[in-house]
Amino acid sequence: MRVSADSGQDRRVNASLRLHLAYTARMGALVLASILVSLVIFEIGLRTFEPFGAKPAAANPGGAFGKAELMRYVLQLPAAPGTDRRWFLQDPPPLRYSS
């Protein structure tokens, strides 16, 4: 049985490669874990400072505006020349979803 002279060097290269792969796997896991922790902290912050749910309209806490109040507001909005401002008072047709 003949043993080559390079077998010791091959073992060192294989051990070095295994160590490198293990290090790379640990670093990859560390990056993924830090991203996950960051996302969880961000989500907690959003839910704490900006809770879900409908918020009352700040401009109209008492209910719907009348057409006169709406038109006064619409007339203050910047618009292109020739814009028909009555368009702002119309209800749009319901959306139709295509399947």
Cα distances from 93 to residues 6, 15, 59, 77, 96, in angstroms, run: 81, 71, 25, 23, 9
**Considering the entire predicted model, what is its pTM?**
0.41
Confidence band of 71 (pLDDT split at 50, 70, 90): confident
Residue 80 lies in a domain: no
Q: Please report which residue ranges of 50-96 form alpha helices under DSSP H.
A: 67-76
Containing structural domain, residue 31: 10-52
CB within 8 A of 89, min separation 6: which ones?
67, 70, 71, 74
Residue 92 lies in a domain: no
Q: What is the pLDDT of residue 15?
A: 84
Residue 97 lies in a domain: no
Residue 98 lies in a domain: no
**3-state class (DSSP) for residue 20:** helix
Number of structural domains (the chain) is 1
Residue 28 lies in a domain: yes
Q: What is the pLDDT of residue 76?
A: 87
Residue 66 lies in a domain: no
